[in-house]
């Protein structure tokens, strides 16, 4: 919420407890008038005399919300992990008419989402002019919609975005091959985000075990940006815990286990690469090595979680997935996708295919 200076001091104390309200920005002519009392309200993220800095802060807020929506599996036989993995494998086998798929996505969004007509027209007319990573990292609905679809196992969204999931995975795979020679054998990346209290408790119980990020995974080489822009702000949400993931990456394991990643440079992504972003494909699996409290003057709900990437073989997380995969070896492409939908209890959607 953006509040004018004239209303701020009287309005904010009344509304600041609303759970739907995450961030408050004060737009005024004199910052010093509001600085003292605003310090007592954590949801006030800043006092500004111009709108442009607020717009930049809102972009970070939006990304924080999207990051908190990413699908994570902690249970070693989590059906969400298994079925999203199998759906992705089926999608990668399908070769569709891209023009038709883009048109169907745009029509679906016109009916189902709040995407602007200008954005939809841009996607329809310019999709082939830019790379999948450019669209994914841009200020459009694609990032949010894809995360939401995979987290909620929304079959309609996964179907409509199937061509994009395929293109994005293929783009990351191509870049991984090109960049592999210049990548260090082992390195660290960081990711700041919020976790719900429920997911945080699950993670603590899984310590020493495995977890999977079921979405495309955005990480950064820059620890400071990951902490200050994403982990710390998430801790101010009363319903979440701020997490700084410290991820130990072994390039050889990623290549062997078909978990490609790519460095998102200025020429590839939408924004200037201040975050030094490394983007992984879906279903990256990690071992939870350590969970430690971060001592911080601003919040007591900040934790550093150390993860190490593992291969996708020889562990329980993939045992049942492999069994389900064998059940559909007779089918490929859309037939395989339909078989998985029936397993998910979606026979009507399978018939529609």
Q: Please write the tens of the pLDDT for every residue from 75-113.
A: 655 666 777 777 777 778 777 778 899 999 999 999 887
- List, for residues 31-40, the tens digit of each pLDDT value: 888 888 888 8
Q: What is the DSSP letter of 345?
A: T
Q: Give the best-scoring range by mean pLDDT among 10-24, 48-62, 235-249.
A: 235-249
Please choose, from the candidates 42, 3, 60, the residue with its C-alpha nearest in 3D space to the C-alpha of residue 26.
Answer: 3
Phi and psi angles of residue 102, each rounded to the nearest 5 degrees, phi first? -65, -45
How many of the other CB atoms lie within 10 Å of CB of 213? Answer: 25
Query: By mean pLDDT, which of 161-175, 183-197, 304-318 is the weakest?
Result: 304-318
CA angle 87, 88, 94 (to 5 degrees): 90
DSSP-H helix ranges across the chain: 5-15, 32-38, 51-68, 79-93, 98-112, 117-126, 132-137, 142-151, 155-160, 162-179, 197-205, 223-225, 232-235, 251-256, 316-327, 333-343, 347-352
How many of the other CB atoms lie within 10 Å of CB of 323? Answer: 10
> Bridge partners of 219?
278
CA distance 163 to 166: 5
Q: Where are the domains of the chain?
A: 2-49
Buried (b) or exposed (e) across 165-196, using 16+ Cβ within 10 A?
bbbbbebbbebbeebeeebeeeeebbbbbbbe
Residue with tokens 């745009």: 106
Distance in angstroms between the alpha carbons of the first and the last residue of the chain: 43
> In the predicted model, is pLDDT for residue 345 greater than 80?
no
Q: What is the dihedral of CA 151, 153, 158, 159, to 10 degrees?
A: -170
Burial label, 274 (beta-carbon count in 10 A; 0-12, 13-18, 19+): exposed
| Structure confidence at residue 243 (pLDDT) | 96
User: Cα–Cα distances in Å, from 146 out to 39, 143, 214, 298?
Assistant: 36, 5, 11, 32
With H, G, I as helix, E, B as strand and everything else as coil, classify residue 328. Answer: coil
Nearest-10 crossing angle of helices 333-343, 316-327: 120
With H, G, I as helix, E, B as strand and everything else as coil, classify residue 139. Answer: coil
User: Cα–Cα distances in Å, from 140 out to 117, 130, 276, 331?
Assistant: 12, 13, 20, 35
Query: By mean pLDDT, which of 8-12, 61-65, 299-303, 327-331 is the weakest?
Result: 327-331
> Bridge partners of 287?
210, 308
Helix or strand (DSSP H, E) at 291: strand 284-293
> In the predicted model, is pLDDT for residue 164 greater than 90?
yes
Query: By mean pLDDT, which of 144-148, 275-279, 309-313, 319-323 is the weakest?
Result: 319-323
pTM: 0.78
Tell me the mean pLDDT in the region 289-312.
91
Average pLDDT over the chain, rounded to whole? Answer: 85
CA distance 182 to 206: 34
| Structure confidence at residue 121 (pLDDT) | 94
> In the predicted model, is pLDDT for residue 314 greater than 90?
no
* Structure-block tokens of residue 137: 């990292």
């Amino acid at each position: 919420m953006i509040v004018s200076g004239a209303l701020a001091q009287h309005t904010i104390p009344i509304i600041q407890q609303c759970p739907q309200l995450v961030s408050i920005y004060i737009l005024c002519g004199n910052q010093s008038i509001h600085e003292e009392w605003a310090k007592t309200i954590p949801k006030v993220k800043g006092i500004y005399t111009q709108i442009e800095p607020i717009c930049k802060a809102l972009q970070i807020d939006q990304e924080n919300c999207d990051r908190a929506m990413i699908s994570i599996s902690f249970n070693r036989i989590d059906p969400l992990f298994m079925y999203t993995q199998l759906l992705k494998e089926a999608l990668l086998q399908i070769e569709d008419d891209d023009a038709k798929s883009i048109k169907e996505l745009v029509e679906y969004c016109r009916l189902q989402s709040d995407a602007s007509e200008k954005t939809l027209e841009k996607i329809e007319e310019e999709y082939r002019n830019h790379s999948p990573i450019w669209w994914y990292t841009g200020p459009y609905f694609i990032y949010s919609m894809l995360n939401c679809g995979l987290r909620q196992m929304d079959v309609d969204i996964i179907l409509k975005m199937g061509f994009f999931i395929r293109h994005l995975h293929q783009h990351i795979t191509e870049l991984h091959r090109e960049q592999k020679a210049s990548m260090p054998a082992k390195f660290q990346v960081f990711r700041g985000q919020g976790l719900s209290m429920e997911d945080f408790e699950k993670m603590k119980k899984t310590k020493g075990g495995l977890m999977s990020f079921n979405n495309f995974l955005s990480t950064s080489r820059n620890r400071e940006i990951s902490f200050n822009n994403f982990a710390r702000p998430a801790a101010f949400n009363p319903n979440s815990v701020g997490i700084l993931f410290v991820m130990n990456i072994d390039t050889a394991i990623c290549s062997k286990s078909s978990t490609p990643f790519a460095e998102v440079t200025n020429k590839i992504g939408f924004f200037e690469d201040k975050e030094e972003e490394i983007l992984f494909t879906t279903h990256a699996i990690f071992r939870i090595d350590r969970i430690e409290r971060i001592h911080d003057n601003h919040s007591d709900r900040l934790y550093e979680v150390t993860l190490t990437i593992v291969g996708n073989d020889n562990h329980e997380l993939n045992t049942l997935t492999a069994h389900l995969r064998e059940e559909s070896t007779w089918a490929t492409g859309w037939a395989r996708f339909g078989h998985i939908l029936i397993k998910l209890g979606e026979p009507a959607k399978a018939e529609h295919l």
